Amino acid sequence: MSDLTDLLAQGLPPDALAVDPDVMAAYSHDMAGFCVAGTPAVVVFPETVEQVQHILRTASELRVPVVPQGARTGLSGAANAVDGCIVLSMVRMNRILELDPVNRIAVVEPGVVNAELSRAAAELGLSYPPDPSSWESCTIGGNIGTGAGGLCCVKYGVTSEYVLGLDVVLADGRLLSTGRRTAKGVAGYDLTRLLVGSEGTLGVVVRAVVALRPAPAPQLALAAEFPSADAAGAAVCAVMARGLTPSLMELMDAVTVRAVNELGQMGLPESTQALLLVAFDGPDPSAELAAVAEICRASGATEVVPADDQAESELLLAARRLALPALDRLGTTMIDDVAVPRSRLAEMLNGVAGIAERHGLTIGVVSHAGDGNAHPIVIFDGADPEESARAQRSFDEIMALGLELGGTITGEHGVGLLKREWLARELGPVALELQRQLKAVFDPLGILNPGKAV
């Protein structure tokens, strides 16, 4: 690998290359479970577009694979190294280049942290709506790579709806500009949308033009306790059928409720089998909450607690923020990501409960109920090979269940290594072949994030 590092060093500052084994080990994987990670040859930290181009030209010349990375908060193994690769960390390209309140856009480098962009936009009375749970640490480049979502998607949509244009370094080092800065634009094929969610397999994002929105009003929330997932699912369907548009609608199953109760001393009854949290940020959130409270009671809620002000809303929503830490305390966790039609969300929760029982495991489910995106969290003893095998089997059954219910294997976490086999099952042979042909157009040598997604 001396030829590789020597060539890379010709176009990079000395502190932009790392070959220390501990550093390479730290940058060899993201946060996904059940995903293998190889040993990289070098980790590079470019700070300019030209440096990224130099890295890709060098990789193409030597036929060395390149694995692009953001903050490594991903949950699908898409950022995992392969043996002998260049790990291309984009975290030092972290500048907000432009904030334009007239055209309501921001121009950012890929290493900008989601929360930093949100705070900068807020100073101008604007917002960047996509808000993954890891928003305080995940990067815009990583969000673009996975097509990330978040808690507010039910009203405001996902990352792909906010990316207007991209600058992307291709595998051979050429710089491609896609999209626009204007509110509208339909010239040519939509390469921007193609690149969003491509997990670094088609090119390396070095700059993004993203849309901003007016900052929403503070939201008011309510919590509703249900005696079954079916009753909670009926309430979700009724809310959406009424034409209401919550800014947030989250559903936790009985396993998650008990874990949150134990960690946060929330005082929820043991009889609660599902907890629904709904919030509105419109001009009259109190009236909308009253309508949802009525729907929840009609659907069988045993208790409905609406907030009177923002402070009370934050207390109610604290249960949702505690969900993942509460489940993490129970053992090794594997966070899943399956989206189904909203009308079948209760079937998803009930089906996961059955899978957990069959395999003798604990599986909690947290859902973005407004868009049908369920996150089953498999809990197991990672030091027990037999239990780990049962966890893997349960994962496969959850994937199959999602497809049976008319859903998709991932709503926002991406495919990566974790779900590559399942992607083939969802797409079918014709779509899969076309996607592989597209990959070959962008990356004929196959060096960009090999083995991921398609």
pLDDT of residue 290: 97
- Tell me, yes or no, whether 75 and 123 share the same domain: no
Query: Which tens digits make up the pLDDT trace of 80-105?
Result: 999 999 999 999 999 999 999 999 99
Q: Angle formed by the axes of helices 420-427 and 385-404, to 10°?
A: 20
- Contacts of 428 by beta carbon, 8 Å cutoff, 6+ apart: none
Secondary structure (3-state) at 398 = helix
Q: Mean pLDDT in the chain? A: 95
Pick from 188, 214, 240: which residue ends a domain? 214
Partners of residue 333 on adjacent β-strands: 379
- Tell me, yes or no, whether 153 and 178 share the same domain: yes
Q: State the pLDDT confidence band at 271, using cuts at 50, 70 and 90.
A: confident
- Contacts of 184 by beta carbon, 8 Å cutoff, 6+ apart: none
The mean pLDDT of 25-32, rounded to a whole number, is 95
Contact 271, 206 (CB under 8 A): no
pLDDT of residue 329: 94
Q: Which domain holds residue 238?
A: 218-324
- Tell me, yes or no, whether 56 and 148 share the same domain: no
- Tell me, yes or no, whether 65 and 135 share the same domain: no
> Within a domain: residue 231?
yes
- Tell me, yes or no, whether 301 and 269 share the same domain: yes
CATH number for the domain harbouring residue 162 = 3.30.465.10
pTM score, whole prediction: 0.94
Alpha helices (H) along 135-200: 140-146, 153-156, 191-195
Strands of the sheet containing 163-169, edge to edge, are 96-100, 105-108, 204-211, 163-169, 175-179
Distances (CA, A) of 85 to 27, 431, 446: 12, 29, 12
> Within a domain: residue 338?
yes
The mean pLDDT of 282-295, rounded to a whole number, is 95
Query: Which tens digits make up the pLDDT trace of 382-395?
Result: 999 999 999 999 99
Alpha helices (H) along 203-242: 229-241
> Within a domain: residue 203?
yes
Residue 3 clears pLDDT 90, i.e. is over it: yes
pLDDT of residue 166: 98
> Within a domain: residue 449?
no
pLDDT of residue 30: 95
Q: State the pLDDT confidence band at 9, using cuts at 50, 70 and 90.
A: very high
First to last CA, the chain: 28
- Using left for φ > 0, alpha for ψ between -120 and 50, and beta otherwise, residue 117 falls in alpha
- Which of the residue ranges 22-26, 285-289, 334-338 would you say has the lowest mean pLDDT? 334-338
- Tell me, yes or no, whether 206 and 108 share the same domain: yes
- Tell me, yes or no, whether 146 and 236 share the same domain: no
pLDDT of residue 1: 61
Residue 33 clears pLDDT 90, i.e. is over it: no
Phi and psi, residue 374, nearest 5°: -100, 140
Residue 281 clears pLDDT 80, i.e. is over it: yes
- Tell me, yes or no, whether 316 and 226 share the same domain: yes
Secondary structure (3-state) at 206 = strand
> Within a domain: residue 170?
yes
The mean pLDDT of 215-240, rounded to a whole number, is 96
CATH number for the domain harbouring residue 363 = 3.30.70.2740
What is the count of structural domains for the chain? 4
Pick from 89, 116, 150: which residue ends a domain? 89
Measure the CA–CA gap between 412 and 149, rounded to whole angstroms: 5
CATH number for the domain harbouring residue 32 = 3.30.43.10
- Tell me, yes or no, whether 155 and 174 share the same domain: yes
- Tell me, yes or no, whether 238 and 155 share the same domain: no
pLDDT of residue 435: 96
Contact 110, 90 (CB under 8 A): yes
> Within a domain: residue 349?
yes
CA nearest neighbour of 76 among 433, 443, 412: 412
> Within a domain: residue 194?
yes
> Within a domain: residue 104?
yes
pLDDT of residue 39: 97
Residue 217 clears pLDDT 70, i.e. is over it: yes
Percent of the chain with pLDDT over 70: 100
Query: Which tens digits make up the pLDDT trace of 137-196?
Result: 999 999 999 999 988 889 999 999 999 999 999 999 999 999 999 999 999 999 999 999
Distances (CA, A) of 141 to 170, 344, 353: 15, 32, 35
Residue 41 clears pLDDT 80, i.e. is over it: yes
- Tell me, yes or no, whether 336 and 317 share the same domain: no
Pick from 189, 214, 239: which residue ends a domain? 214
- Tell me, yes or no, whether 14 and 80 share the same domain: yes
Q: State the pLDDT confidence band at 265, using cuts at 50, 70 and 90.
A: confident
